[in-house]
Every structure is written in C-alpha cells, then in structure tokens.
Chain A
Amino acid sequence: IAGITQAPTSQILAAGRRMTLRCTQDMRHNAMYWYRQDLGLGLRLIHYSNTAGTTGKGEVPDGYSVSRANTDDFPLTLASAVPSQTSVYFCASSDSWTGSYNEQFFGPGTRLTVL
C-alpha cells in the first residue's frame, strides 16, 4: 500500500441497503476525514477523526457513521442508503489536525449511486 486507498472504486446500491466504504492509510497519520463531493458544491466534511479512538461530526453527518479502531483504518457506513447520498466520497488523512501539518492527502474516491 502506498498512501491512502479506498474500496470499492464504485458501487450501485439499492435504497434502504447498508453499505460500508473502506479507507486505509499507511502513512501513520493521526487525523482522517470523510468528504462527499457533489457537482457545483465544495467538498463537504461528513465525519473526522483527530486520533485513533476518537471521532467527530462534520458539516453533513446525518445518515452516516464512522469508527476509528486503529490508526490506519477509517470506514464510513451508510446505515440505510437514500438517493440523496449519491455522490463521490473521498477519504483523506493528515499528520495533524492543526496548522500546516493539516495538509490533507486524499484517496482516489468511491463513486456511489443509490437507486
């Protein structure tokens, strides 16, 4: 693994189904983030984790949950998918959550379509 990886690359999901998007980094970064990116809008923060064992809510957390059991992994779960969750999801990580060390490195993204 080099950097930050996400799985799956893309997914079509029926409304009401549960789905977990996976994210793994090998840079030993303390902080990790989940964003969604929709056409015409900026990246919007869903959830974040400043260190392993802690998580926090971002701008648009409803319908999503996360866990951070260890440094490397930060899965995002949609408990019951709805069409408005159709988006491109990016996972990111940074060495620290403050200052210039907050330079965030992004995974390749997951394109999710909810029908």
Chain B
Amino acid sequence: GQNIDQPTEMTATEGAIVQINCTYQTSGFNGLFWYQQHAGEAPTFLSYNVLDGLEEKGRFSSFLSRSKGYSYLLLKELQMKDSASYLCAVMDSNYQLIWGAGTKLIIKP
C-alpha cells in the first residue's frame, strides 16, 4: 500500500529553526508537495520537489532524496504565525496526490 509518514506534533521556539520530516512509500513518484494549513482553514501550497536536493524559498526550504523516500521542510526564523499544520503529499504514478496526516507545529514565545 501507499504510505506517507510525518510526526504528529512538534514544538519549537519563536526565532528558532525547525525541521519537519516526511517519509514515503508510493507506487511511483511524480513529485512531492508541502502545504501549510492553519486551524480551520484550507491548505495552501508551500513547495514542490521532483529532483533530489534543496529548494529554498525565503524562510522555508524543502529537501528531497528519492532514493531514501525522504523529504524535509525546514523553517527558519520561526514566527508565531508559523503555528499551523504542515502537510506532505506525494504524486503517485497516476498523478494523484497521496497525503500524510500532517504535522501540527506549535510555536512558543
């Protein structure tokens, strides 16, 4: 079966750095997405990786290793507004997104 694993919850301090990991086992791979979802709101797109390596976008970076079935989202200079759930999703061989359950990130002052 297809499976996406991410930690359920993480806590970090304002101004610090946090890394949210995602491991996956899917039938085929056509890219990995990270989305942010604030409580009670819709998911919004953060990043897309299809090749190995690091993609940097401001305070957020996303890394992919296809051989290891592994990705991480790195958030720098954490702000209170970064408190949200972070969803990892993999596009399988049928171009359908398989979603992880999400990691709830709690930022403390």
Contact = CB atoms under 8 A, between A and B. Distances in A.
B97 interface: yes
A102 interface: yes
Interface residues of A, number: 22
B41 A98 contact: no
Interface residues of B, number: 22
Interface string A28-64: 0000000000001111110010000000001100000
Given A42-B87, A108-B42, A98 B48 contact: no
Contacts of B100: 42
Judged by DSSP, the binding face of A is loop
A100 interface: yes
Contact of B42 (A58, A102, A106): A106
A11 B49 CA distance: 37
A97 B101 contact: no
Contacts of A104: 45, 97
17 contacts: A43-B87, A43-B89, A44-B99, A45-B97, A48-B96, A58-B96, A90-B43, A97-B95, A98-B30, A99-B30, A102-B33, A103-B33, A103-B48, A104-B45, A104-B97, A107-B42, A108-B42
